[in-house]
Chain A
Amino acid sequence: MAESIKDKVAIIGMGCCKFGENWWWDAEDMLIESTKEAFADAGVEPKDIQAAWLGTTGGFSGQLLARPLKLQYIPIVRVENACATATDAFRNACYAVAAGVYDMVLAAGVDKLKDSGISGLGSDSLLPGGTGTATGTSAPGSFALAGTRYAHTYGMSFAELKHMLAQIDVKNHHNGSLNPKAHFQREITVEQAVNAPMIAWPLGLFDCCGVSDGSAAAIITTPEIAKKLKPKGDYIMVAGLAISCGAGQGQTQNKYDFVHFQEDVTAGEWAYREAGITDPFKEIDLAEVHDCFSITETIIYEDMKWAPKGGAKERIYAGAYTLEGELPVNPDGGLKCFGHPIGASGLRMIYEVWLQMLGRAGKRQLKKADIGLTHNLGGAPGSFTCAVAVFRKPD
């Protein structure tokens, strides 16, 4: 009989290096940075780690983590699950502890994308070895298809869509300006966002997150050990973990509407069920979501039941998702201000939940941070991999 993950694992330490164009750091350097902070935070040493999960799209096997940290012959799983990689690495580490196989494990994520020298992610078409005839589109292009259809579906003009999306761009930039670890730490205006050069119509420069380098890490253990090591209660509990993989339904079926991502819905519902959340918009105090593009964040609000279908606009303009709103989304600045080193983003999201719950979020600190959610999404409209995690403060 399948059981819930709720309250079976705890995070006792986290680390996150500065994200950005880290020309002076390679992947191994960034892993040292993020794990060093995590070990110090947890009060635990590398030799205490029994197994590790590494999320990354580069490097060679789990050895990418073992080599810089000098982890000695321990089990290391290399995880890749599109842009949900980091959350999936974290998730699998949690299951190993919940299964009672290990007591103390490390989940780390890293990606070094800026050495490629190209704009945007990867290749326009199929993976190497393909026919080269599949219609090439960039990541912004794939999500732009949802932007176009969103405007059409809800009767918005191009200008109205741009103005709505700009609210999200401005919100995330504001939050990022309060975050010393973000790549971009400056405010922008709605006019700047609306008038920015087009990347993939209708998405402009500020609607798109950048490509960047970064690493984040979490040390995971049982609730009993967490209580013993952190008697003051400065640790957090995992309340729900979910992942949902699409099968290209939306790319082959006429009925897919391009204004919702079913994988969000499925993963969200699973995580809510595990965590015992029945009114997400009310119960969740903060969320870190996958704002690779502003239209993505818009649709996530609806998929995650934080707005009715087609109703995101109203809540956006009411400020529901700002730091002062009912459900602050991306209080750390999101992918917009951090960029998206694929293997690390999900863990960077958990890091913000961690800081908020322990009262360490500085200028971004929310008054209430008892229940937090992270949402991590990879793929393209019509076929995604979505991972959702829910966290809560220990009793």
Chain B
Amino acid sequence: MAGITSFGAYVPLFRVGRETRNWGMPIEKAIASHDEDSLTMAVAAALDCLADMDRKSVDALYVATTTSPYIEHQLAAIAGAAMDLRADILTEDVSNTLRAGTTALRSALNFAAAEPGRKALVTTADCRMGTPRGGFDQTSGDGAAAIMVSDQNVAVEVDGVYSLADPMLDTWRAEGDAMVRSWEDRFILDEGYRRIMSESIRGALGKWNMTAKDFSKVAYYAPEPREHGRVAAEFGFDRSQVQDPLFGRSGSSGTAHALQVLICALEEAKAGDRILFVGYGDGADIFNLRVTDKIESLRNRHGMKGYLESKRLMVDFNQYLRWRQLIGAESARRPASVGPSVSALWRERSDVLPMYGTRCKACGYPQYPSQRVCTNCFTWDQMEPYRFSDKKGTIYTFTKDSLAGGAIEPPSIVTVVDFEGGGRAMLGMTDRVPEEVDLSWIGKKVDLTFRKISFAGGVHNYFWKCMPERFPS
């Protein structure tokens, strides 16, 4: 029987909160950096989920989001390359609904059931926008979650699934809309979330002949805290059974939200716990989950616990507005951005997406970018591929470049990174506060993170940057 065999999560480093100037509210939420989007966050969560598993053992990849950077170009293909998965796998983007994450999970379970022994990885992220400081902005947040599914070593069994479809327009976006649309508050909550959650959970429990008492926990999507509470109350779940929906911490993260809440539950769960899990959007996906003793093997994931705690408060909300280009910022006059050469990107795809370099078989020296002639021993054509993206590094030197920064987030911090195991590369540094970066940072440990470098010529250009360790080792 197919079930959950691993999980991972990702919450962006920066939060807005009470002390953030120009936010003015005691509400905390997670904000994706200017160089993050649904794809980069989905990759981060998926890598957390993969942990030290053999990447070549993944047989299917689902990427779910409502905020895809592309309308015609598959995110899962890019993510698969970035994570160095095999090419001969099923890749699928699932989109257009807030329950895309749970719908993708259903598809992954079907895949695993149909393909015994095979593994399917679901990763979901969202980066939705509403009017700054408005109602939606206060309850939403950015983030990602990932689940691995297989019929071997199942940590969470799936004893039942139920879905309901409903073409309800409560919140939605049409092509070209930057911000979420919604109809009147009272209506969309009464006839949207509340009604659909009610009908779908009733339908599921009815089908399975179960009640609230049969579950240790209920974990489900909600657009805002009061409605979240109402659902639990309607079905008689008491406080101890209701998994915290993350309002005031990371916020409601669109397609990722339900899975993030589930992961929080799984991080505290023990063998025998039964969890009712609900994803919402244009209907609902409902899962009857039962935790096995294999849950103990997943305690080393950073997950929601790790990523929630790893946070920095944004000093001024204007930074978020600049990041989303809702306000402009003056910067040095620099050459206009031109799109990358697509043929060059294709040719360098291995150096770019999973950040492969080469290691010389004659002398063992790893080098980036890929070389044919060894930089160390000058031997020709004795190279083997060598992956850098998962290596730890230390800062050898850096600069804070006000000229190259561009309008969005000057200065740009350029770092020379020495890799554990050898090799060196010059990389941008992200997830840092420039004023804090000084001479004492030489020798500091960094991790690599998959980020968006630019958007020009219609191409979202992705590569790796370094960042101070989120989880100091």
Contacts and interface: CB of A to CB of B under 8 A. Distances in A.
Interface of A: 116-120, 122-124, 128-133, 135-138, 140-142, 144-149, 151-152, 157-158, 197-203, 247-249, 251-254, 256, 258
Contacts of B427: 135
22 contacts: A117-B333, A118-B332, A118-B333, A118-B335, A120-B403, A122-B335, A129-B341, A130-B340, A138-B401, A140-B399, A140-B403, A142-B399, A144-B400, A145-B398, A148-B398, A148-B399, A149-B396, A149-B397, A158-B438, A198-B400, A200-B404, A252-B375
B225 interface: no
B399 A144 contact: yes
Contacts of B352: 131, 133
A130 B399 contact: no
A251 B352 CA distance: 17
Nearest to B459: A132
B334 A119 contact: yes
Nearest to A132: B340
Interface stretch (B79-87, B235-243, B244-252, B416-424): B416-424
Interface in B340-355: 340-341, 344-345, 348, 352
Contact of A120 (B334, B367, B376): B334
A56 to B, nearest CB: 19
A124 B403 CA distance: 9
B71 to A, nearest CB: 21
B344 A120 contact: no
Contacts of B397: 145-146, 148-149, 152, 258
Contacts of A141: 399, 401, 403-404, 412, 414
A145 B414 contact: yes
A201 B335 contact: no
B375 A248 contact: yes
Nearest to B398: A148
Contacts of A124: 334-335, 404
A152 to B, nearest CB: 5
A247 B375 CA distance: 8
Contacts of A147: 399
A236 to B, nearest CB: 38
Interface in B352-381: 352, 365, 367-368, 371, 375-376
B445 to A, nearest CB: 15
A208 to B, nearest CB: 9
B402 A198 contact: yes
A130 B396 contact: no
A53 to B, nearest CB: 29
B339 interface: yes
A253 B357 CA distance: 13
B426 interface: yes
Nearest to B338: A128
B461 A132 contact: yes
B442 interface: yes
Which residue, of B335, B412, B454, has the highest number of chain A Cβ atoms within 10 A?
B335
B423 A254 contact: yes
B376 A258 contact: no
Which residue, of B416, B428, B453, has the highest number of chain A Cβ atoms within 10 A?
B416
A291 to B, nearest CB: 18
A252 B426 CA distance: 9
Given A132-B459, A142-B399, 8 more contacts: A119-B334, A132-B341, A132-B453, A136-B404, A145-B416, A200-B402, A252-B371, A253-B365
Contacts of A131: 340-341, 344-345, 348, 352, 461
A144 B412 CA distance: 12
A296 to B, nearest CB: 14
B375 A249 contact: yes
A137 B414 contact: yes
A136 B414 CA distance: 8
Contacts of A148: 397-399, 439, 442
Contacts of B416: 145, 258
A149 B403 contact: no
Contacts of B376: 253
A120 to B, nearest CB: 5
A254 B401 contact: no
B463 interface: yes
Contacts of B463: 133
A258 B428 CA distance: 18
Contacts of A248: 375
B367 A252 contact: yes
A292 to B, nearest CB: 13
Given A131-B345, A131-B352, A253-B375, A201 B426 contact: no
Contacts of B418: 254
B456 interface: yes
Contact of A135 (B340, B411, B426, B439): B426
B334 A200 contact: no
Given A131-B348, A158-B438, A200 B453 contact: no
B422 A254 contact: yes
Given A132-B454, A258-B397, A251 B424 contact: yes
A142 to B, nearest CB: 8
Contact of A130 (B341, B400, B426, B462): B341
A202 B462 CA distance: 28
Given A135-B428, A137-B412, A152-B442, A200 B401 contact: yes
Given A117-B333, A118-B334, A254 B439 contact: no
A133 B340 contact: yes
A137 B399 contact: yes
Contact of A145 (B335, B399, B456): B399
B375 A120 contact: no
A227 B81 CA distance: 69
B404 A149 contact: no
- The 4 A-B pairs at the shortest CB distance, nearest first, are namely A132-B340, A144-B399, A141-B401, A201-B400
Contacts of A138: 401, 403-404
Which residue, of B338, B400, B459, B461, has the highest number of chain A Cβ atoms within 10 A?
B400
